[in-house]
Structure 1
Amino acid sequence: MPAVIFKSRVYYGIMAEECKRTIVGRFLKQRPQIDKIRSSFRELISMKGSYKIGAYDNHNVSLDFSIEEEFKNVWFRRVIEIEGMQMWLQKWSPDFKPKEDIPVAPVWILLPGLPFNMHNWHYVKQILSSVGTPLALDVATASKTRPSMAKVRVEIDLLKPRIESVWVGNEDENSPLKGFTQKLEYEAILKYCKHCKKLGHNMLNCRVLERLRAKETLAYDGKEVVDNLEGAQLNNKESANANEMEIAKNIQPTLVDTQVNTNENAKDQEEEAEKNNDSGPVLECGQAQNKLKSVKVKSPCMAERTKNKKKKNNKTKKMLKKKSTVIFKLV
């Protein structure tokens, strides 16, 4: 990819001079039509010199002035209402980005108790040069109608810490160094959000940051709920395993006792069987009972009767055989 590199002193110096009297007007919502912005601006502010208003995108417009004094008068307003919408004004910079506000703004700085002989632009701008870029004196200071205090418009970087006081001294070859501490008071400083890089609010009441935190909180709560559920499931599983182990411990002695009793019963049966083998054949319980039922004990009288009955039957059979024999003789 081809590349073009400029020197910083050229980029921020000579090239920036082309837009040194350019202001960027930003609308928080979608801006009105460019023709309505031009007509409203013409009605609000009267200009002696020429100026141009052009559309940059749906939220930003550029205002370019030919006279330095008119450029400052518009920029010092900071906000202009057009078509019922606020247009925030900021000085153009080579670092301008359409979706970010430049953290530079003009503010009034008060110098209470400043010696009256120093109410002069040449001296005041030296006192405030470490604070920012001095822009102009207010009318009362310039006309020296308020000797108790000087008031100066200064362009400051909103991201830098505020300087609350400046030491002002004097010395020469014949007198030692002496001086005083000059207190500085800032009036109506614009807020700047470091998160979304917008003017008008800080990080404490940034809506973008609030939505981001709400999402993070919701995600954290969801993760915490999942972790709690997983922890509860794990605890339930551990409890179930512990209960199973406890049941197994309780059942094992019972099984051992049962096995011992079974072994003892089997041993007793084996001993009983050995005794029965010694006295004769052993019958099973059911067979023994049936055998006992089927056995009839015969008395001596019954034995005799049975014997006589058998003899009688044998005799009857012989007689029948004789009677059943037929012999034919020839005549």
Structure 2
Amino acid sequence: MQLLSLNDGFFLLRFSCREDFDMVWSRGVWFLLGKPFLLQKWHLKFKPKKEKFSSVPIWVKIHDLPLACWNSEGISRIASKIGVPVAADKLTEQKIRLTYAQISVLVDNLATYPKEIQVSLDGDVVSLKVQYEWRPYPCEHCKSLMHFSSSCPTKPKSYSNEQVNDTADL
């Protein structure tokens, strides 16, 4: 596979065989350096465009998880306090690494990112530490997850003092 750089943060993936493409495409969202890497299929008239996503998947680590919660229902219920659970990593699914559970969670542009989650277990309240590998920062102007506030197309233009003074003299 080749990774070719395009404009505006886009990349072109070139595959040497159909099986590799099928494997990559079937996995849906990929993560590079903890950030979602969203795929679009190429066609003859393809022009890369940034979609207006209102939600994105992120990886979350949940520490101090009681052993009684180490099942798909328990982990899913806890992760749903952050967003919509999508999948667990293999080590979490197979219960090989019990120091933390790592879950992919779909969060929207209004998500809060708690550092701790309180869980009631047989009448006792347990505090679970939450760690985010990466988290989106929605635009201050339009709440989009696809650009920074400084480059928002709907951002009101600010005028310099000189421009304000020039118009005041008219």
User: TM-score scaled to structure 1, two decimals?
Assistant: 0.38
Name the aligned partner's letter for residue 180 of structure 1: V
1:129 aligns with 2:80: yes
Give the superposed CA RMSD: 3.8
Q: Which residue of 2 aligns with 1:76?
A: 30
Following the alignment from structure 2 to structure 1, what is the Cα–Cα distance between the partners of residues 131 and 96?
A: 20
Equivalent runs, 1:214-253 vs 2, <5 Å: 216-218=158-160, 221-227=162-168, 229=169
Q: Which residue of 2 aligns with 1:189?
A: 135
Following the alignment from structure 2 to structure 1, what is the Cα–Cα distance between the partners of residues 121 and 108?
A: 29
Deviation at 1:197, TM superposition (A): 5.5
1:114 aligns with 2:65: yes
Following the alignment from structure 1 to structure 2, what is the Cα–Cα distance between the partners of residues 130 and 186?
A: 14
Cα distance change of structure 1 residues 224 and 181 upon mapping to structure 2, 3 Å threshold: same
Deviation at 1:80, TM superposition (A): 5.8
Match of 1:103 among 43, 48, 54: 54
Q: Are the equivalent residues in 1 in contact too, given 2:118–2:125 (CA < 8 A)?
A: yes
- What whole-Å deviation, never above 9, does each CA across 1:14-54 have from its counterpart, x for those lacking one? xxxxxxxxxxxxx975x99xxxx7x8367584427xxxxxx
Residue correspondences, number: 153
SS state at 2:28 partner: helix
Q: Are the equivalent residues in 1 in contact too, given 2:141–2:152 (CA < 8 A)?
A: no
Name the aligned partner's letter for residue 145 of structure 1: I
Cα distance change of structure 1 residues 80 and 158 upon mapping to structure 2, 3 Å threshold: closer
User: TM-score scaled to structure 2, two decimals?
Assistant: 0.67
1:47 aligns with 2:22: yes
Structure 1 residues not aligned, in runs of 5+: 1-26, 49-64, 89-97, 172-176, 231-331
- What whole-Å deviation, never above 9, does each CA across 1:250-307 have from its counterpart, x for those lacking one? xxxxxxxxxxxxxxxxxxxxxxxxxxxxxxxxxxxxxxxxxxxxxxxxxxxxxxxxxx
Name the aligned partner's letter for residue 79 of structure 1: F
Cα distance change of structure 1 residues 226 and 28 upon mapping to structure 2, 3 Å threshold: same
Identity, in percent, stands at: 20
Following the alignment from structure 1 to structure 2, what is the Cα–Cα distance between the partners of residues 180 and 75?
A: 32
Name the aligned partner's letter for residue 187 of structure 1: E
Ranked by relative contact order (alpha carbons within 8 Å, sequence separation 6 or more), the top structure is: 2
Q: Are the equivalent residues in 2 in contact too, given 1:100–1:198 (CA < 8 A)?
A: no
Following the alignment from structure 1 to structure 2, what is the Cα–Cα distance between the partners of residues 226 and 127?
A: 57
Deviation at 1:189, TM superposition (A): 1.5
Following the alignment from structure 1 to structure 2, what is the Cα–Cα distance between the partners of residues 223 and 46?
A: 55
Equivalent runs, 1:1-331 vs 2, <5 Å: 40=14, 43=17, 45-47=20-22, 70=26, 73-77=27-31, 78-79=36-37, 101-171=52-122, 177-195=123-141, 198-203=144-149, 205-206=150-151, 208=153, 212-213=156-157, 216-218=158-160, 221-227=162-168, 229=169
